Structure 1
Amino acid sequence: MLCVTIALLPASAFGVWNFGLPAFIMLLSTTVSAVLTEYIYEKLMHRKVTINDFSAVVTGLLLGLNMPASAPWWMGALGSVFGILVVKQLFGGLGQNFMNPALGARCFLLISFTGQMTTFIYDGVTGPTPLALLKSGQSVDSMKMLVGTIPGTIGETSVIAIIIGAIFLILIGAIDLRIPGTYIVTFVIFIGIFGQFSNANVGFFDVQYITAHLCGGGLMLGAWFMATDYVTSPITKRGQLVYGAMLGILTGLFRLFGGSAEGVSYAIIISNLFVPLIEKVTLPKPFGKGGEK
């Protein structure tokens, strides 16, 4: 968890540089609230205090990176309390939560404060995200999306900053390519085939359209930092491939044919719910004594 925290620093630093002081306040609010909630709950329940494992820090930081900088700080704090208390601790703490706490908190906030969670201000101007422009049939600048000088949530805009953190996690062996790789490849195939059905100006496997979808929204942040969560992702190798494919298909469905331009958060949460079934189906069968002959 400490390594994940370090890996999130490039995206966090860019988010603060990109959106200014409000982004820093939001990240501080969500992270501190997550740690305090875990500490207070465990003290009240007479449990071992586990804030030193950095899992609460990761939850708070990820939630902050999934928040628009224009949202009030107390909203982020409320989301952290929900994520730690309801999604994590009430189900037994780290290792027992059935979905990613940060995404559970984000979806809770999206339902509760839809307007503020979907309003994005960049350079003092309120405007749509590149994904919203894509969904309406307009063109976008993929290079700006790659660098991150676009409206969006604090941590999702810069693909470069996210990839730097992802490479760090891969090099130290904290994650591998199985889940994020399958997720991204499946998503590319889905967008390439079905993008033309949702947008008349898009051709079969339109490279610019696919690139824009890869660089836009929370796909990269979700694929590398949330879909790979040890607790809420399959432990079997085949299961991880199935899980990644499911993520790619659901994200493509939500983005192309759903009412919203985004869909990563809901895709990951729904896939989290299927993890027990995926593991049951893909668990290797034992052979020999006590197993199948």
Structure 2
Amino acid sequence: MKTFIASSPHVARVNRVDSIMLQVLLALVPGILAMIWFFGWGLLINILLAATFAVAAECTVILARGRSPLPAIADLSAVVTAVLFAISVPPILPWWMTLLGMLFAIVLVKQLYGGMGYNPFNPAMAAYVFLLVSYPVAMTNWLTPTMLAEHHLSFTESLRIILDGSLPQGLSWDAVTSATPLDEMRGKLDRDLTMDEIRQSPLWGAFGGRGWEWIAGWFLLGGLYLLWKRIITWHIPASLLSSLLVCATLFWAIEPQTHPFPAFHLFSGAAILGAFFIATDPVTACTTTRGQIIFGASIGALVYVIRTWGGYPDAIAFSVLLLNIAAPMIDHYTQPRVFGHGGKRG
């Protein structure tokens, strides 16, 4: 009788990179569909362009190193980076800015450091900040939500704007674009308007901006799916959102006419997207349990500080990148004690 002898590992891997990335992409679908509903087909075009540019950039760099690009492409990490970038930028961002962003994310932030698993910064957020600092006007040129827009851009009209910047005949930029809720809130508070006066605008919904609060809700659903599938743990999302909520509640309780209702900070901008899909990046976040709680709480506090007193109304990208720098130090000081070391002698 023959005996079959196999070397380890004896248990099949279930947490393969491509499987995890595919689950992340699936979890993003509800929020993406909501964004397309409220902001039009430009978002889908941006996703397709960003994914194409990201995959092409990754292939080019790996081929230049004399290696096969198939394993790196098959793990879907470049596609996840592209999708996170595309849903963070305005839906009518010019195509060449999307190209610049993907080159920066894949070539400089990811592959320059050695590829998947070695990048110190979140590539999608690094590309977002690079473009925001370089082209602030284009990066804040968001479309008006469909229920408030004078004209709904078709797929063809959106494609023309992205490719050559041509608006439909008879329309101006003011007719198709508007400030985001965070921009609107920041600008009107700077003009000494009260919260009661600001909320008279049709831009506002129950908690945040109209349309934006629904988008945040669907991304929350996707985040809960990731928790259910155990792709991520609760530590970073819960600590980030709790920290942001505590800061917002504290200042709102002190002066409610100059600080928005706490839920506004959760359901406007990228707080929920950042908490579940960006800050939880396993490569650039903390790895220890205590470290993840500190990491998330620090991001939440920084988001509130930058939104309230900084130069940019939304701050997820800046906060995540700043804590990416601090993640190794946080991990170093939050390592669990090794059994048998540091205890009292009996």
Q: Is residue 201 of structure 2 the alignment partner of residue 201 of structure 1?
A: no
> Is residue 145–residue 158 contact of structure 1 (8 Å, CA) maintained in 2?
no
Change in 2 beyond 3 A, CA 1:71/1:97: same
Aligned counterparts of 2:55 and 2:125: Cα–Cα separation in 1: 17
Aligned counterparts of 2:330 and 2:117: Cα–Cα separation in 1: 17
Gaps of 5+ in 2: 1-20, 150-174, 190-197
The partner residue of 1:177 within 222, 225, 234 is 234
1:128 is aligned to 179
Change in 2 beyond 3 A, CA 1:55/1:253: same
> CA deviation digits over 1:180-236, x for unaligned, max 9?
000000111111113467x76147xxxx61111110111111111000000011110
1:268 is aligned to 320
One-letter amino acid of the structure 1 residue matched with residue 57 of structure 2: T
Superposition map of 1:1-293 within 5 A:
1-49=21-69, 50-122=72-144, 123=149, 124-135=175-186, 136-137=188-189, 138-139=198-199, 141-143=204-206, 145=208, 149-150=211-212, 158-195=215-252, 201-202=257-258, 209-288=261-340, 291-292=341-342
2:194 is aligned to none
One-letter amino acid of the structure 2 residue matched with residue 258 of structure 1: G
Aligned counterparts of 1:213 and 1:88: Cα–Cα separation in 2: 30
One-letter amino acid of the structure 2 residue matched with residue 86 of structure 1: L
Post-superposition offset of 1:160: 2.0
One-letter amino acid of the structure 1 residue matched with residue 291 of structure 2: G
Aligned counterparts of 1:63 and 1:176: Cα–Cα separation in 2: 23
SS at match of 2:62: helix
Post-superposition offset of 1:67: 0.8
> Is residue 120–residue 325 contact of structure 2 (8 Å, CA) maintained in 1?
yes
Change in 2 beyond 3 A, CA 1:157/1:132: farther
Aligned counterparts of 1:33 and 1:57: Cα–Cα separation in 2: 10
Aligned counterparts of 1:278 and 1:83: Cα–Cα separation in 2: 25
Post-superposition offset of 1:20: 1.9
Aligned counterparts of 1:224 and 1:200: Cα–Cα separation in 2: 28
> Is residue 34–residue 84 contact of structure 1 (8 Å, CA) maintained in 2?
yes
Change in 2 beyond 3 A, CA 1:78/1:157: farther
SS at match of 2:313: coil
> Is residue 30–residue 60 contact of structure 1 (8 Å, CA) maintained in 2?
yes
> Is residue 10–residue 162 contact of structure 1 (8 Å, CA) maintained in 2?
yes
Structure 2 length-normalised TM: 0.76
One-letter amino acid of the structure 2 residue matched with residue 143 of structure 1: A
> Is residue 244–residue 265 contact of structure 2 (8 Å, CA) maintained in 1?
no
One-letter amino acid of the structure 1 residue matched with residue 332 of structure 2: K
Aligned counterparts of 2:243 and 2:205: Cα–Cα separation in 1: 20
Aligned counterparts of 2:67 and 2:85: Cα–Cα separation in 1: 25
Post-superposition offset of 1:78: 1.5
Post-superposition offset of 1:292: 4.1
Post-superposition offset of 1:119: 1.5
Structure 1 length-normalised TM: 0.89
Aligned counterparts of 2:304 and 2:264: Cα–Cα separation in 1: 13
SS at match of 1:176: coil
Aligned counterparts of 2:67 and 2:334: Cα–Cα separation in 1: 35
> Is residue 196–residue 202 contact of structure 1 (8 Å, CA) maintained in 2?
no
Aligned counterparts of 1:200 and 1:160: Cα–Cα separation in 2: 24
Change in 2 beyond 3 A, CA 1:251/1:63: same
Post-superposition offset of 1:134: 2.1
> CA deviation digits over 1:54-79, x for unaligned, max 9?
10010000000101012112211220
Single out whichever of 69-78 and 85-94 deviates more from structure 2.
69-78
Post-superposition offset of 1:259: 2.0
Post-superposition offset of 1:133: 2.3
Change in 2 beyond 3 A, CA 1:200/1:145: closer
One-letter amino acid of the structure 1 residue matched with residue 299 of structure 2: L
- Figure out how many residues of one structure are paired with residues of the other and give that number: 280
Change in 2 beyond 3 A, CA 1:234/1:226: same
Aligned counterparts of 2:115 and 2:279: Cα–Cα separation in 1: 19
Identity percentage over the alignment? Answer: 33
SS at match of 1:270: helix
